[in-house]
């Protein structure tokens, strides 16, 4: 009987071995957030080719997708991510706070380590039957708004801040009026999915709601994949520049000896081919030349940055932490 | 060997769970458990689970009785189907139930014209919990009903008892202890159910947010202690309810004997 | 218990109430059980058999199927042996803490799957009790196969025991004691006396354990890390493809899993039939 326990222990200890690839090649694990599946599938193929041409080494990239917060937690709990590509900087900050990567990670790559950007838009049903044109329309009675839970979804945090940015730019706006706007907005939300993709599915597949607040790339992808002509994208009068950051996880790459490949992978994101892939997947490229080529697809609208809210540190603590504004919205008036 | 198996696989992990919340301090634990949103989630999870288990008493009892006492074509198939929720992955049941009961689904579409929403509202949670609990109830009652001689019912009927009397005086007392066991199992399964519920629940704080989801949310906010505190609270509550049901079951059994 | 009891007497009192009861019961089964299942298959086949084939041929799907089978292949034997040993102890010996042991074994049934995953993270995660030690030894438990196995073990823990314990308690130990008195060694008694007596109940427990092991979602989601082609089990792969806007592919894998479940159920029903005939 004891022998059996030993056998079990041995089995458990040996188990990781068959999971490691048998042939010699570099492997990278990219732990990413929900709507980037299609993007990184294309990027990974392109990078593998470019990397082999350049260094002569083969590289296989695996990806893991989930809610941005959940993914950060998994990395903190020991998921061996070589690179993290998450929805909001605060999630990478949380990993850095535990010492897994340098605190100054954002400065190690151009543009605050955000190789492409996006913004927050409104997706409505074809012909816009409820005449949703801008943020104030979302708090009208009888409008059902779909947005995910900012506690679990990075995209939802951008949605929330974009709405708040508009409310705070209104004449005579105060913190109280901003909070009141959000309270009315969330009173119109019938379903709070845990991730951006879940919210899109609820809106598009399940037919719930009149308007979906979503990443621009997510809205365009949904339109393209699920029903051309069934949905319209509405650009609000003001939105937020959503900057999903990328970083190499120092402690993991140093342990695995994969730093060179990991850094090459992230640098590749800034190259023209990768920027082109990003643009085709509806992310706004940083590269001016690529951006110019796709200018027609990405209307220029007024956008605020996260600095409007004092950076992610402050925004996270004020709005999304336990007892923050989001909790207050739900504590009151329900 | 038994002890190693139980110790390694159950006691050790549970010890980790029990030990974790206290890093918040007693006050912190109480504070983290008495937030209105937490209380609402606990009320919802336990209320819905108890309600679904109660309705399953009726539905499960009916199905069990029909499967044991009647013959109809396809009975064996129906019998095998009862275990389906048990064998079907919860995520699959969740997606399937949501697709079915969403306003544009096969069944949700029937309710929508009447202004009823099933998916993304409490009825949806209730249906998902009914779904996961049903086999426990049927499988608890079935063997007892099976062993209860049919001639008792027959005799009662010959003596002029109405069907209703047969049900309340003969069948119910006999199956009561087993029904309590089934109720306990269906409840225990339903209260912790996650996979099939998150798809169909609207997940709105204070209204349709179940306690297991709140555990996940806390986990994602890196609030391990808070997550463990809520997990422990759920565990303690269900343990109390199950202990009470166990006591009731023993009373009934003694009463029967 | 004889077959005659349930076969004959009940039948002689038909009447509209009986048919109403049958109708209602079937309606319950239809709405609650059959429709969701039908939907899974209908969606899976919405692009024909070619759609199903291509969904199952996807390398990530293949890896998920392999992983799920591997996890089940490890967890089911472990919990079967453990369950057998525990049932034997509890049914045959009186010892202090016997009731407590039984309660502890049944605990996983009452625990939310999410918590079942969480406990392993609390133990073996980087910030868990054994996290630092494992990190030094470079052993990966959560977010790798061992974590998946442990979470599944925890969730399917009591199934075998629950299936065989009532039977072992009911049968008592007279036969075993007779064999021991005749000088048979303990393991032979177990193999030739105990095991044949409980074999159908045991098989049922094993089948249910297996079904649950393959279908577990909540607990596995917490410890998997969701690495495509590496730590995604079938239920996680279903969720991932569903979220990739490939509902048909998701339902195709779901249908395969449901089919495995149905085979399990059919095997179980067949066994029950066999048991009844044997008696």
**Per-residue pLDDT tens over the stretch B64-119:** 988 888 888 888 888 888 888 877 878 888 889 988 998 888 888 888 778 778 88
pLDDT at position A145 is 96
Could you identify the residue written with the tokens 């002890």? B3
- Preferred mutation among B220, B223, B224, B229 to probe A, highest tally of A CBs within 10 A: B220
What is the predicted pLDDT for the residue at C125? 87
pLDDT digits (tens, 9 = 90+) for C165-215: 877 877 777 777 888 888 888 778 878 888 887 887 888 788 888 888 988
Lowest mean per-residue pLDDT among A47-61, B14-28, C246-260: B14-28
Nearest CA in chain B to C252: B92
Q: How confident is the model at residue A141 (pLDDT cuts 50, 70, 90)?
A: very high
Nearest to A204 by CA among A222, A187, A186, A229: A222
Angle at CA of residue C151, ends C148 and C154, nearest 5°: 145
User: Would the pLDDT of B186 be above 80?
Assistant: yes
| Residue C193 structural domain | 48-278
Average pLDDT over residues C224-238: 88
Chain position carrying tokens 């779904």: B131
Whether C193 is in a domain gets the answer yes
A334 touches chain B (CB under 8 A): yes
Interface test with chain B among A33, A332, A334, by most B beta carbons within 10 Å? A334
Residues A153 and A262 in one domain: no
Helices then strands, each counted (H, E), chain B = 15, 0
Per-residue pLDDT band at B48 (split at 50, 70, 90): very high
Count: domains in chain C: 1
Residue A66 and residue A20 in one domain: yes
Residue A2 in contact with partner chain B when CB distance is under 8 A: yes
Count, residues in chain A: 334
**Residues C32, B134: Cα–Cα separation, whole Å:** 9
At residue C69 the predicted structure's pLDDT band, cuts being 50, 70 and 90, is very high
Chain C residue with minimum CA distance to B4: C82
Q: How confident is the model at residue A11 (pLDDT cuts 50, 70, 90)?
A: very low
Q: C137 vs chain A: nearest CA distance in angstroms?
A: 11
CB A251 within 8 A of CB A315: no
Would the CB atoms of B146 and C1 count as touching at under 8 Å?
Answer: yes
Look at residue A294 and tell me if it is in a domain. Answer: no
CA distance A29 to chain B (A): 20
Supply the pLDDT for residue A17.
Answer: 41
| Contact flag A78-C240 (C-beta cutoff 8 Å) | no
Predicted pLDDT at A250: 96
Phi, psi of A212 (to 5 degrees): -110, 125
* Rounded distance between C-alpha atoms, residue A154 and residue A312, angstroms: 11
Rounded to 10°, the helix B25-33/B36-69 angle is: 60
Task: Classify residue A281: in a domain, yes or no.
Answer: no
Q: What is the pLDDT of residue C276?
A: 62
Residues in chain A with CB shorter than 8 Å from the CB of C135 are 78
So what's the pLDDT on residue C11?
Answer: 42
Residue A149 with chain B: CB contacts under 8 Å = 203, 217
Q: In this predicted structure, what is the pLDDT of residue A332?
A: 62
Mean pLDDT of chain A, nearest integer: 89
Contacts of C5 in chain B (CB under 8 A): 146, 149-151
What's the rounded Cα separation, in Å, for the pair C262 and A64? 31
- C-alpha triplet C128, A259, A37: angle, nearest 5°: 75
Provide residues of C within 8 Å CB-CB of chain A.
74, 78, 81, 85, 121, 124-128, 131, 135, 138-146, 149-150, 225-231, 240, 242-245, 247
| Chain B: closest CA distance from residue C104 (Å) | 7
Residue range A74-93: mean pLDDT, rounded: 93
Same domain? For A95 and A130 the reply is: no
Which among A35, A61, A24 has a CA at the least distance from the CA of C229? A61
Q: Using CB atoms, which residue from A34, A62, A80 is nearest to C228? A: A62
Q: Does an H or E element contain A213, and which?
A: strand A211-215
Mean pLDDT of the residues in chain C: 82
Same domain, A89 and A10: yes
- pLDDT level of residue A20 (50, 70, 90 thresholds): very low
Q: Phi-psi category of B120—alpha, beta or left, where left has phi over 0 and alpha has psi -120 to 50?
A: left
Altogether, the residues listed in chain C come to a count of 279
pLDDT at B144: 83
Confidence of residue B165 (pLDDT cuts 50, 70, 90): confident
pLDDT of residue B257: 65
Q: What is the mean pLDDT of residues C207-232?
A: 87
In the three-class reduction of DSSP (H, G, I as helix; E, B as strand; rest coil), residue B119 is classed as coil
- Using DSSP's 3-state secondary structure scheme, residue C96 falls into coil
Burial state string for A88-113 with b = 16 or more CB within 10 A and e = fewer than 16: bbbbbbbbbeeebbeeebbebbeeeb
* Total of domains in chain A: 2
List of chains touching A (3+ CB pairs within 8 A): B, C
Is pLDDT of C89 > 80? yes
Going by their DSSP bridges, the two strands A239-242 and A303-304 should be labelled as parallel
d(CA C148, CA C169): 33
The pLDDT tens digits of the residues spanning A154-200 come to: 899 999 999 999 999 999 999 999 999 999 999 999 988 888 888 99
Residue in this structure with the two tokens 């095997």, named with its chain if needed? C267
Q: Alpha helices, DSSP H only, in chain C?
A: 3-7, 16-29, 35-44, 48-57, 59-92, 98-110, 113-124, 131-137, 145-155, 159-171, 174-181, 186-189, 195-215, 218-224, 234-243, 247-278
- Please classify residue C232 by burial: count the beta carbons closer than 10 Å to its beta carbon, then call 0-12 exposed, 13-18 middle and 19+ buried: buried
Q: Are residues A315 and A199 in the same domain?
A: yes
Report the CATH architecture of B2-256.
Orthogonal Bundle (1.10)
CB < 8 Å to A2, chain B: 1, 4
Which pLDDT score is estimated for A9?
47
Asked whether residue A300 carries a pLDDT value surpassing 80, the answer given is yes
Whether residue A10 has pLDDT greater than 50: no
Cβ within 8 Å, pair C36-B131? yes
The SS3 call for residue B248 is helix
User: Quick check: C25 and B5 CB within 8 A?
Assistant: no
Q: Is residue C35 within 8 Å of residue B81, measured between CB atoms? A: no
What is the CATH number for A151?
3.40.190.10
Q: Name the residue of chain C whose CA is nearest to A8's CA.
A: C78
Q: Residue A8: pLDDT above 60?
A: no
- Cα(A253)–Cα(B157) distance, integer angstroms: 78
Q: For position A284, what pLDDT does the model report?
A: 96
User: What residues of chain C, 223 to 252, have a C-beta less than 8 Å from chain B?
Assistant: 234-236, 238-239, 242, 250-251
Query: Does the pLDDT at position C230 exceed 70?
Result: yes
The residue segments making up the domain with residue A314 are 117-242+302-331
Domain of C212, CATH number, reads 1.10.3720.10
* Mean pLDDT (whole number) for A217-241: 90
In a domain, residue A306? The reply is yes
State the alpha helices, DSSP H only, in chain A.
Answer: 2-14, 16-19, 37-55, 68-76, 89-97, 110-113, 154-168, 175-187, 196-204, 216-226, 250-256, 259-268, 272-280, 288-293, 311-315, 325-331
Residue found under tokens 């239809």: C30
For residue C143, report the phi and psi dihedrals to the nearest 5 degrees: 65, 20
Using CB atoms, pick whichever of B67, B90, B215 lies closest to residue C217: B90
> Which CA distances in Å does A241 have to A191, A216, A283?
25, 10, 11
A103 and A156 together in one domain: no
The residues that bridge with A120 in the sheet, in sequence order, are: A215
A50/A42 Cα distance (integer angstroms): 13
Q: Are residues A82 and A142 in the same domain?
A: no
Q: For chain B, what is the mean pLDDT? A: 85
CB contact under 8 A, C150 and B9: yes
Interface test with A, best of C86, C152, C245 (most A CBs within 10 A): C245
Please say if the pLDDT value at position B26 is more than 60.
yes
DSSP readout, C36-88? HHHHHHHHHGGGHHHHHHHHHHSHHHHHHHHHHHHHHHHHHHHHHHHHHHHHH
pLDDT at site C275? 65
Percent residues over pLDDT 90 in chain C:
18
In this predicted structure, the answer to whether residue B18 has a pLDDT above a threshold of 90 is no
CA angle at A64 for the pair A62 and A67, rounded to the nearest 5°: 160
The predicted structure's pLDDT at residue C14: 54
- How does strand A116-125 pair with strand A211-215? antiparallel
Q: Which residues of B touch A5 (CB under 8 A)?
A: 1, 4, 8
CA distance C279 to C275: 6
Closest partner residue to A73 among B202, B204, B222, by Cβ?
A: B222
Token pair for A240: 């937020």
What confidence score (pLDDT) does residue B65 get?
A: 87
B21–chain A nearest CA distance, Å: 16
In a domain, C10, yes or no: no
The average pLDDT across B26-31 equals: 86
Predicted confidence at residue C277, as pLDDT, reads 59
Probe site for chain C from B17, B80, B87 (most C CB atoms < 10 A): B87
Touching partners of C (3+ C-beta pairs < 8 Å): A, B
From B239, B184, B220, select the one nearest B50 (Cα to Cα). Answer: B184
Provide, as residue numbers in chain B, all residues whose Cβ is less than 8 Å from the Cβ of C154.
9-10, 13
With bands split at pLDDT 50, 70 and 90, how would you rate the model's confidence at C8?
Answer: very low
**Residue among A284, A295, A148, A133 nearest A217 (CA):** A284
- C112 in contact with B, Cβ within 8 Å: yes
* Closest chain A residue by Cα to residue B201: A191
Higher pLDDT, A5 or C271: C271
Number of A:B CB contacts under 8 A?
Answer: 79
Minimum mean pLDDT range among A9-13, B35-39, C100-104: A9-13
Same domain, A232 and A96: no
pLDDT tens, residue by residue, C12-46? 445 777 788 888 888 888 888 889 989 999 989 98
A4 to chain B, any CB pair closer than 8 A? The answer is yes
CB atoms within 10 A of CB B114: 7
Question: What are the chain C neighbours of B84 within 8 Å (beta carbons)?
Answer: 33, 37, 261-262, 265
pLDDT confidence tier of residue C2, bands split at 50, 70 and 90: very low
The gap from C-alpha A328 to its chain's centroid, in whole angstroms, comes to: 25
For residue B13, the model assigns a pLDDT of: 85
């Amino acid at each position: 009987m004891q022998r059996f326990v030993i056998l079990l222990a041995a089995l458990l200890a040996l188990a990781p071995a068959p999971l490691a690839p048998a042939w010699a090649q570099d492997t990278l694990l990219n732990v990413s957030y929900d709507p980037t599946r299609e993007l990184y599938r294309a990027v990974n193929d392109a990078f593998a080719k470019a990397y082999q041409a350049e260094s002569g080494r083969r590289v296989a990239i695996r990806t893991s997708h989930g809610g941005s917060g959940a993914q950060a937690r998994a990395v903190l709990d020991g998921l061996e991510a070589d690179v993290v590509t998450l929805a909001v900087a605060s999630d990478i900050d949380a990993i850095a706070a535990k010492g897994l990567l340098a605190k100054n990670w954002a400065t190690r790559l151009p543009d605050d380590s955000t190789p492409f950007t996006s913004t927050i838009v409104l997706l409505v049903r074809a012909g816009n039957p409820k005449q949703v044109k801008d943020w104030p329309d979302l708090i009208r009675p009888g409008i059902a708004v779909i947005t995910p839970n900012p506690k679990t979804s990075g995209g939802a945090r951008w949605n929330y801040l974009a709405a708040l940015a508009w409310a705070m730019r209104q004449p005579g706006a105060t913190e109280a009026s901003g909070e009141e706007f959000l309270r009315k907005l969330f009173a119109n939300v019938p379903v709070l999915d845990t991730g951006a993709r879940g919210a899109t599915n609820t809106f598009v597949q399940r037919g719930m709601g009149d308007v979906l607040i979503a990443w621009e790339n997510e809205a365009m992808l949904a339109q393209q994949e699920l029903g051309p002509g069934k949905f319209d994208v509405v650009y609000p009068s003001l939105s937020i520049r959503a900057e999903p950051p990328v970083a190499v996880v120092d402690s993991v790459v140093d342990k695995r000896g994969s730093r060179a490949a990991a850094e090459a992978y992230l640098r590749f994101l800034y190259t023209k081919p990768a920027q082109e892939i990003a643009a085709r997947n509806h992310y706004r490229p940083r590269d001016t030349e690529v951006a110019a080529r796709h200018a027609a697809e990405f209307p220029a609208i007024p956008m605020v940055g996260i600095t409007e809210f004092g950076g992610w540190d402050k925004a996270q603590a004020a709005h999304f932490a336990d007892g923050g504004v989001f909790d207050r919205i739900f504590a009151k008036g329900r | 060997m038994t002890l190693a198996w139980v110790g390694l696989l159950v006691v050790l992990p549970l010890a980790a769970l029990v030990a974790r919340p206290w890093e918040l301090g007693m006050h912190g634990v109480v504070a983290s458990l008495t937030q209105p949103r937490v209380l609402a989630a606990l009320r919802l999870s336990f209320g819905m689970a108890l309600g679904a288990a109660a309705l399953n008493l009726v539905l499960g009892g009916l199905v069990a009785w029909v499967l044991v006492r009647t013959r109809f074509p396809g009975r064996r198939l129906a019998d095998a189907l009862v275990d389906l929720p048990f064998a079907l992955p919860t995520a699959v049941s969740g997606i399937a139930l949501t697709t079915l009961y969403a306003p544009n689904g096969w069944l949700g579409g029937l309710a929508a014209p009447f202004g009823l929403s099933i998916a993304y509202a409490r009825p949806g949670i209730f249906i998902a919990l009914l779904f996961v609990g049903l086999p426990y109830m049927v499988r608890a009652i079935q063997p007892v009903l099976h062993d209860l001689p049919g001639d008792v019912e027959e005799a009662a009927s010959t003596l002029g008892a109405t069907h209703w009397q047969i049900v309340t005086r003969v069948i119910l007392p006999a199956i009561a202890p087993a029904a309590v066991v089934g109720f306990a199992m269906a409840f225990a399964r339903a209260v912790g159910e996650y996979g099939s519920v998150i798809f169909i629940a609207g997940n709105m704080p204070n209204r349709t947010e179940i306690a297991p989801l709140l555990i996940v949310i806390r986990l994602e906010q890196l609030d391990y202690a808070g997550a463990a505190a809520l997990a422990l609270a759920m565990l303690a509550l269900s343990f109390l309810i199950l202990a009470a049901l166990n006591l009731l079951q023993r009373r009934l059994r003694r009463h029967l004997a | 218990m004889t077959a005659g009891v349930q076969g004959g007497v009940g039948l002689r009192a038909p009447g509209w109430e009986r048919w109403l009861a049958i109708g209602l019961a079937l309606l319950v089964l239809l709405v609650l059980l059959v429709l969701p299942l039908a939907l899974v298959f209908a969606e899976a086949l919405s692009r024909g058999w070619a759609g199903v084939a291509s969904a199952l041929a996807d390398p990530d799907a293949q890896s998920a199927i392999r992983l799920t089978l591997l996890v089940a292949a490890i967890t089911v034997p472990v919990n079967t042996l453990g369950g057998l040993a525990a049932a034997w102890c509890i049914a045959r010996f009186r010892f202090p803490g016997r009731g407590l042991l039984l309660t502890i074994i049944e605990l996983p049934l009452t625990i939310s799957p999410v918590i079942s995953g969480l406990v392993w993270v609390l133990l073996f995660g980087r910030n868990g009790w054994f996290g630092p030690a494992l990190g030094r030894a470079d052993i990966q438990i959560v977010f790798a196969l061992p974590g998946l196995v442990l979470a599944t073990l925890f969730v399917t823990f009591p199934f075998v025991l629950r299936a065989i314990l009532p039977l072992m308690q009911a049968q008592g130990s007279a036969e075993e004691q007779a064999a021991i008195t005749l000088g048979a060694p303990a393991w032979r008694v177990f193999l030739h006396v105990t095991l044949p007596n409980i074999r159908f109940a045991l098989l049922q427990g094993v089948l249910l354990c297996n079904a649950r092991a393959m279908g577990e979602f909540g607990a596995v989601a917490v410890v998997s890390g969701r690495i495509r082609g590496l730590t995604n089990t079938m239920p996680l792969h279903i969720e991932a493809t569903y979220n990739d806007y490939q509902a048909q592919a998701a339902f195709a894998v779901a249908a395969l899993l449901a089919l495995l479940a149905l085979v399990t159920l059919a095997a179980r029903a067949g066994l029950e039939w066999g048991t009844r005939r044997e008696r």
